[in-house]
A and B are shown apart, each in its own frame.
Chain A
């Protein structure tokens, strides 16, 4: 159609189904079990806690996959899918037994792999750092009362005496009297955990989302590794000596 004959209001539908991201998503084993057509009934949206507060709609997720438009999929992988709380209410209520939550999970993995997730996940850098370095994902220190006005005024009062409360609560439990992490894991545990991060390739994956973070953490990890390995050698030598 020539430019001048083009209807100024109505867009012509041109299918762009079958693009790279669409194919990657359809390859995932979960999709077949998670999408059996969609009645557009809205049960999922009505039950979805994310849809009540954010720009997210599980129904739209299903419709988007059915339509398969490449541009829309890319846009979703960069943004909206990260609003899902993975509560699976959609799955347990959908009259077609669809699971937008599973589709979202598959899309998130692909988004990470394809380098589309960095912007959406930037806010989670602190959490990722804590997981990589301490093995916890949340710490009492991270919950500043200003960020959670919905927790009410008592939150302000309580957060001023976090340390005292924890000491009282966890008296006799070593490792719990900390507020910069949920609990203090032993050095050797952290060393083992970080070894798993590295050898499983998880660290590399995290690096695609938080490249700077991994650079920082890597140094820390290398130091810890040297220290732990020296200590292991020392212990081994002692053991050998005692045998003789």
Chain B
């Protein structure tokens, strides 16, 4: 029985591994961090949209399915540094602190995922300069009872609970200035979810969302958007956050209220940047090591977007999840299962 190499221990890689192992294949799962769960674990995602269900309820069973299956060998804190051979005979070098080992594999699944966009590049938002400008990932961690602030939303500058909070949509997405003209596909719903969580926890707070379009295309997303407006009185302003300055120790933002046709200034206590998705460091490394095609933004290109969505440009190397482009957790799990089926099919031939 051939062994499958899965690169990446995020939600997609975990699902692909457990599905393959259940079909009877041996799997080597290589993860660069010393924990499984990818970005969900890294940033301690608290609740998932649109049901506000605990992220742990989703990610824990996926991790458990991998850890409890004896067909899967997990390499934590490890990297795939070199790959040679062709389908169905690959040789891969796996490196970690203990040393290097070379093993044979019948197929390779790349599930290296994404990185949160680093908003330092958007200098006009002051991320990194103003302490109270934070990212949505940082807010996830704050809202999580196991996170740094034990579930409290606190201003990093003085530890106080902010009263007026603005959320900027499309940070590092739909933006040619930073080279990411694509949509991050989750920012709208994550921001709406976080706004609701904040209002639930702090009913006296005011939450403003500065957006261009609310792209609520997922299951239950539009309903969540309606709920945010009707039940939680979250204020959605149609205009992209343009600039953040600090005036008398108070954050001040500029935007245009495009429906009323007027430029506005708004003083707030905290600004949350809905930073989008960029190709992960692991994805860029994997593309280099494996020699597979990337698109203009560094994500991996499928052989055919419609007909072979999980095949890379090289036979025997498969791709799945958010390393192909922005994707939500729900769809990453679907991708993990889909790629497992495709790998199993290819190894039978």
- A residues at B contact (CB < 8 Å): 36, 39-48, 51-52, 57, 59, 92-97
Partner of A95, one of B174, B254, B256, B264: B174
In the bound complex, what is the Cα–Cα distance between A6 and B297 (angstroms)? 52
Residue among A39, A43, A47, A59 with the highest chain B CB neighbour number at 10 A: A43
The tally of CB-CB contacts under 8 A between chains A and B is: 64
Tell whether, in the assembled complex, residue A42 and residue B242 are in contact, meaning their CB atoms are under 8 Å apart.
yes
- B residues at A contact (CB < 8 Å): 124, 170, 174-177, 212, 238-240, 242-243, 254-258, 261, 263-264
Tell whether, in the assembled complex, residue A95 and residue B263 are in contact, meaning their CB atoms are under 8 Å apart.
no
Tell whether, in the assembled complex, residue B261 and residue A41 are in contact, meaning their CB atoms are under 8 Å apart.
no
Residue among A41, A48, A52, A97 with the highest chain B CB neighbour number at 10 A: A41
Closest to B174 in A: A95
Nearest 8 CB-CB pairings of A with B? A42-B256, A46-B242, A41-B240, A45-B256, A42-B239, A95-B175, A42-B258, A46-B254
Partner of B176, one of A44, A46, A51, A95: A95
Would you give 23 A-B contacts (Cβ < 8 Å), ordered by A? Answer: A39-B212, A41-B212, A42-B239, A42-B256, A42-B257, A43-B240, A44-B256, A46-B240, A46-B243, A46-B255, A46-B256, A46-B263, A47-B124, A51-B256, A52-B263, A93-B124, A93-B177, A94-B177, A95-B170, A95-B174, A95-B176, A97-B176, A97-B177
In the bound complex, what is the Cα–Cα distance between A57 and B263 (angstroms)? 9
Closest to B240 in A: A41
In the bound complex, what is the Cα–Cα distance between A80 and B21 (angstroms)? 68
Tell whether, in the assembled complex, residue B177 and residue A47 are in contact, meaning their CB atoms are under 8 Å apart.
no
Tell whether, in the assembled complex, residue A47 and residue B176 are in contact, meaning their CB atoms are under 8 Å apart.
no
Tell whether, in the assembled complex, residue A41 and residue B177 are in contact, meaning their CB atoms are under 8 Å apart.
no
Q: What are the residues of chain A within 8 A of B243 when measuring CB–CB?
A: 46-47, 93
Closest to A95 in B: B175
Q: What are the residues of chain A within 8 A of B256 when measuring CB–CB?
A: 41-46, 51, 59
Partner of B258, one of A59, A93, A95: A59
Closest to A51 in B: B263
In the bound complex, what is the Cα–Cα distance between A41 and B240 (angstroms)? 5
Cβ of A148 to closest chain B Cβ, rounded Å: 23
Tell whether, in the assembled complex, residue A45 and residue B240 are in contact, meaning their CB atoms are under 8 Å apart.
no
Known: A57-B261, A95-B174. 18 other contacts (CB 8 A): A40-B212, A40-B258, A41-B239, A41-B256, A42-B238, A42-B239, A42-B240, A42-B242, A43-B240, A43-B255, A44-B256, A46-B264, A47-B124, A51-B256, A52-B263, A59-B256, A92-B177, A95-B175
Q: What are the residues of chain B within 8 A of A43 when measuring CB–CB?
A: 240, 242, 255-256
Closest to B173 in A: A95
Partner of A46, one of B174, B239, B261: B239
Q: What are the residues of chain A within 8 A of B176 when measuring CB–CB?
A: 36, 95-97
In the bound complex, what is the Cα–Cα distance between A97 and B175 (angstroms)? 8
Tell whether, in the assembled complex, residue A45 and residue B263 are in contact, meaning their CB atoms are under 8 Å apart.
yes
Q: What are the residues of chain A within 8 A of B255 when measuring CB–CB?
A: 42-43, 46
Q: What are the residues of chain B within 8 A of A36 when measuring CB–CB?
A: 176
Q: What are the residues of chain A within 8 A of B239 when measuring CB–CB?
A: 41-42, 46
In the bound complex, what is the Cα–Cα distance between A47 and B242 (angstroms)? 7
Q: What are the residues of chain A within 8 A of B258 when measuring CB–CB?
A: 40-42, 45, 59
Tell whether, in the assembled complex, residue A95 and residue B242 are in contact, meaning their CB atoms are under 8 Å apart.
no
Closest to A57 in B: B261
Closest to A36 in B: B176
Q: What are the residues of chain B within 8 A of A47 when measuring CB–CB?
A: 124, 242-243, 254
Cβ of A116 to closest chain B Cβ, rounded Å: 24
In the bound complex, what is the Cα–Cα distance between A41 and B255 (angstroms)? 9
Given contacts A39-B174, A42-B256, A59-B256, contact A95 B261 (CB under 8 A): no
In the bound complex, what is the Cα–Cα distance between A81 and B238 (angstroms)? 25
Q: What are the residues of chain B within 8 A of A39 when measuring CB–CB?
A: 174, 212, 240
In the bound complex, what is the Cα–Cα distance between A36 and B181 (angstroms)? 12
Q: What are the residues of chain B within 8 A of A45 when measuring CB–CB?
A: 256, 258, 263
